[in-house]
Structure 1
């Protein structure tokens, strides 16, 4: 049997990937900090539910403290703000010459590369919809764009190997020479999703509110301006049009928002993971690791991002109980747009 792929973080993304790989006959070992989830995976199995796929897959699994051995291929699928802590635990299990692939939201490749080196880090972009429901259960809500690529844009055998694995989950997965373009495109898309989490509305209903359109346009514009300052050519996906927001083209932004609303009306995952952290799991979100880093990048270029800064403040207010989620809360994003 070939050496298992180690998937560190068996939540929404890691769980869907691991279950599909194992069902296809690949050796997989899952690691998660939730003991009940680990017991479910190696006992009755991990239940994948939803319109995309319905099956139960038993998986080799352990908590970090139970894990032994080293692995050449590690897929990191934890929340962005848990990246450093996960690296502390997984680094002893990374074999010499092994690679870590980040199947996360955000620019975590920067953090991983700073720790283990860019040569041992592979970039990955995942946009399919999934939710961790409870130990042993994950909702796979919709298919969407997946891409993998080397940080330096080269096309290597190891990137092809990881692409082949991810193609089991998403047959239209892309092997790209511009993974940073995908990741920055998702940062723009992600800024809009953070704004939808200010409300109890679904992603599509929140983005469709005309009174908040200027806020969504400003968020997309600020992130795409930062991408340009970083020398990145962002790529569009699932309705998001980077050029429309960078140029602040009113007609093109309206068309892009309409396309994103349409895309998100077609998924069983109606709300973002950010919303779920705030409304259901009552825990801190990835806002600092995703949007907070945008503020730091803006400062390094002498740029202002007032709408992003206000968004981060509002998410913190909800996390800390100072404000409730409300359909009107995005009203407070509109003044900075002026």
Structure 2
């Protein structure tokens, strides 16, 4: 790494919502040089006045950290060595365009995001400056300056990997930074790792949001577990069609089966038992309850488009896509009764088998 070893790297978190703020707070408490860059004005003001507060399962932390609004990025004088991008997948390109002029020539951008955003990052800052990542933490934020993180360090998991093989040797130094917030694995095939996370995201994020229930409650609703698993099965088909490999993520043991559907079941169960609590709301449902857009096209839509490219269909993900867009357009309300519409789509598939 070429940053000053005595001073350490200059670090920015672009996007300091529930996830970014909690991880960034760990960095600040570790004494790292970290700056928050955020688009929510009230959140920036609250951090400046009271610091960032993170409520964890058994403790609460608070720390001061410099916070800039997007409009103040142009005032930055010294470039950043590492930028952790923690914005929504659909905000990736413009966020990278915003921060690229303030990235050191050999600086790195780490995409701590859902979806296959690594290629969007690389398109702006270059493959040699891009590190893909997988993140597994459950958090929520509804009050400026306060984030509620449901996973302490022992159950927070990350994977990191470079897109350019020449950059891979630098990933371990970035992993050491991120270990201030949880377990970090450096992987050689970050593209496959991100696909495996998208598989479980396709099963859980939007489907549970459509029925307006916490994740655990959604899986217990009659018929919904089968619907959600099938969305995951289709996503795995898309991953394999795209050349991804079935590899373990989120701390799972080495794969003992290459059966795609069994793997989906295992990873989904791991998310439910280790990384979720009874009241965990997926990020998509949080977005809708805040009146915001969710990552629909970037997850379930990615599955539909990938399988279509390979001459295949994804009927459950297609139905999820249609209902989610109807909810965002105001034509449908997120409600437990929506499970009937999803189950109808599932049963139609079952009848054709």
**Which position in structure 1 is the counterpart of 2:284?**
274
CA contact 1:217–1:245 (8 Å) conserved in 2: no
CA separation of 1:162/1:257 partners in 2, compared to 1, >3 Å: closer, same or farther?
Answer: closer
- Selected match of 1:235 from 225, 247, 261: 247
List alignment gaps of at least 5 residues for structure 2.
1-6
CA RMSD of aligned residues (A): 2.5
Aligned counterparts of 2:211 and 2:174: Cα–Cα separation in 1: 37
Partner secondary structure for residue 173 of structure 1: strand
CA separation of 1:325/1:220 partners in 2, compared to 1, >3 Å: closer, same or farther?
Answer: same
CA separation of 1:219/1:181 partners in 2, compared to 1, >3 Å: closer, same or farther?
Answer: same
Aligned counterparts of 2:256 and 2:302: Cα–Cα separation in 1: 22
CA contact 1:181–1:232 (8 Å) conserved in 2: yes
**Which position in structure 2 is the counterpart of 1:146?**
158
CA separation of 1:44/1:311 partners in 2, compared to 1, >3 Å: closer, same or farther?
Answer: same
**Which position in structure 2 is the counterpart of 1:26?**
32
**Which position in structure 2 is the counterpart of 1:185?**
196
- Selected match of 2:146 from 114, 121, 137: 137
Aligned counterparts of 1:231 and 1:331: Cα–Cα separation in 2: 34
Q: CA deviation at 1:3?
A: 4.2
CA separation of 1:48/1:310 partners in 2, compared to 1, >3 Å: closer, same or farther?
Answer: same
CA contact 2:203–2:230 (8 Å) conserved in 1: no
Matches within 5 A, 1:17-166: 17-51=23-57, 53-67=59-73, 68-69=76-77, 70-142=79-151, 143-152=155-164, 156-166=168-178
Q: CA deviation at 1:209?
A: 2.8
Q: CA deviation at 1:288?
A: 1.6
Aligned counterparts of 2:195 and 2:58: Cα–Cα separation in 1: 27
1:173 matched to 2:184? The reply is: yes
Matches within 5 A, 1:204-215: 204-215=216-227
CA contact 2:162–2:190 (8 Å) conserved in 1: yes
Aligned counterparts of 2:43 and 2:266: Cα–Cα separation in 1: 41
CA separation of 1:154/1:226 partners in 2, compared to 1, >3 Å: closer, same or farther?
Answer: farther
TM-score computed with the length of structure 2 as normaliser = 0.86
Partner secondary structure for residue 189 of structure 1: helix
Aligned counterparts of 2:260 and 2:96: Cα–Cα separation in 1: 38
CA contact 1:32–1:62 (8 Å) conserved in 2: yes
CA separation of 1:246/1:86 partners in 2, compared to 1, >3 Å: closer, same or farther?
Answer: farther
CA contact 1:208–1:261 (8 Å) conserved in 2: no
Aligned counterparts of 1:268 and 1:209: Cα–Cα separation in 2: 14
**Which position in structure 2 is the counterpart of 1:294?**
303
Aligned counterparts of 2:300 and 2:104: Cα–Cα separation in 1: 32
Paired positions, count: 333
List alignment gaps of at least 5 residues for structure 1.
none
CA separation of 1:154/1:98 partners in 2, compared to 1, >3 Å: closer, same or farther?
Answer: closer
CA contact 1:221–1:245 (8 Å) conserved in 2: no
- Selected match of 2:234 from 206, 222, 240: 222
Aligned counterparts of 2:258 and 2:141: Cα–Cα separation in 1: 32
Aligned counterparts of 1:35 and 1:133: Cα–Cα separation in 2: 14
